[in-house]
Structure 1
């Protein structure tokens, strides 16, 4: 707040729709529903609609991002150890940006 950024407080048990959760995660709703049915995260029903807790969606997003970064680090390390970065050569007259 002291840096002029907004702060939003949300209840710990806020239930959101599968469409909102899919939007937050950047995936399609049908794919998200298939993931829910496979046990990706806990969900409950209100009538015929599924709901998930926002905290579960945010925890999943953090876990997914951490796994992605670890995989990218591993790929970069493997490429470096294999000497792939040493093979990069600039074309005649080319320069690094």
Structure 2
């Protein structure tokens, strides 16, 4: 719904359909070479169809959800650290 409210298009993908690396990269808004590196490093599970990587939409969306959660946690930690430093500076004055 957020994408629609921002004027962006959406795609409906059957959950059982395996995505090409380009489709998967487009879905999570990263470059294809970056996605392939994530596959090779084992960050995203995939299957091989001949010589081609195929990615499950469910696996890809779980990776995206986890990545967002990790970023949010890191940002929360930075925010808490900054707040503590500001508080220490104010107390020292």
Shorter-chain TM-score bucket reads: 0.7 to 0.9
Q: What secondary structure sits across from 1:45 in the alignment?
A: strand
Gaps of 5+ in 2: 1-10
Mark the structure with the bigger radius of gyration: 1
Name the Cα RMSD after superposition: 2.3
Distance in 1 of aligned mates of 2:56 and 2:40: 15
Does residue 81 of structure 2 align to residue 78 of structure 1?
A: yes
- Whose helix proportion is higher, 1 or 2? 2
Superposed displacement of residue 13, structure 1? 2.1
Q: 2:36 aligns with which of 3, 22, 33?
A: 33
Q: How does 1:16-95 map to 2 (within 5 A)?
A: 16-83=19-86
TM-score computed with the length of structure 2 as normaliser: 0.73
1:19-78 CA distance string (max 9 Å, x none): 111112221101110110111122112232211000000000000000101111111110
TM-score computed with the length of structure 1 as normaliser: 0.70
Give 4+ residue runs of structure 1 displaced > 3 Å after superposition. 8-12
Gaps of 5+ in 1: 1-7, 88-97
